[in-house]
Amino acid sequence: MPRRRPGRPRRDENLQTRERVLAAATALFAARGFDAVGLREVAAAAGVDVATVAHHTGTKAQLYEACFARVFAAEKVVLEQAARRVRAAARARPRQTLAGLHELVDVFVDFLEQRPETTALWLRRWLEPHRHADLDQRYAAPLYELVEALLVEAAAAGSLVEPTPHVAVRSLVWAVHGHVVALAADDPGGAAERQRFRAFVHRWLDALYAPPTGGES
């Protein structure tokens, strides 16, 4: 086995450094937006020099995109797993589609409650809707389309009625982001607010998609 050259960082060290840079940059961009953050600030927050930031992520615009790619990758994993469970349940018993959607929503709410920087990062981006709009196509649209496809499939199977899946998904996403913003105020009643919001979202799903009473269960 060839010996590593002296001073050459190991691959896992590179990955750890890149993750530290991205975590620091995500927090800064989420708090202040693209224009108000410089590479030197990111380097200082990550405990590295500017050259290291540039080595791992390139320009500031490339770093900004890498932050969205990072949160997208984490969210994609949990939503795809939940979506597979919804499909499996729906194929076995179509009336279980709604129960699967409840689980999917819980997974999404859990994810954003645990990673509020994801909401903050996107809200900063959306304050300037025509700037960096390509990020939406790469790192938001695929997740919208994932859930929209579930609604379209369920509607085609007769499990529910949803004529505007994109509007339904967008409305839910914005509701959850709003919930995360409210929690960020650090209200002492945060635990109760989490429970109230979760109950509201489940009532919303039932109001939209619950089958008439007396149907197949």
Q: Is 214 part of a structural domain of the chain?
A: no
Three-class DSSP category at 128? coil
Same domain, 146 and 77: yes
Per-residue confidence (pLDDT) for residue 14, from 0 to 100: 84
What's at 73, amino acid-wise? A
pLDDT: which is higher, 216 or 182: 182
Three-class DSSP category at 17? helix
What confidence tens digit (pLDDT) does each residue in 119-145 have?
999 999 999 989 999 999 999 999 999
Same domain, 80 and 155: yes
Q: Is 93 part of a structural domain of the chain?
A: yes
Q: Are residues 21 and 46 in contact, defined by beta-carbon separation less than 8 angstroms?
A: yes
180 pLDDT above the threshold of 70:
yes
Measure the CA–CA gap between 182 and 56, rounded to whole angstroms.
34
Same domain, 45 and 84: no
- Count up the domains in the chain and report the number: 2
Measure the CA–CA gap between 90 and 29, rounded to whole angstroms.
40
Tell me the residue length of the chain.
Answer: 217
Q: Is 89 part of a structural domain of the chain?
A: yes
Per-residue confidence (pLDDT) for residue 215, from 0 to 100: 47
CA distances from 108 to 44, 73, 173 (A): 32, 14, 9
Q: What is the pTM of this model?
A: 0.87
Range 111-116 average pLDDT: 96
pLDDT: which is higher, 47 or 6: 47
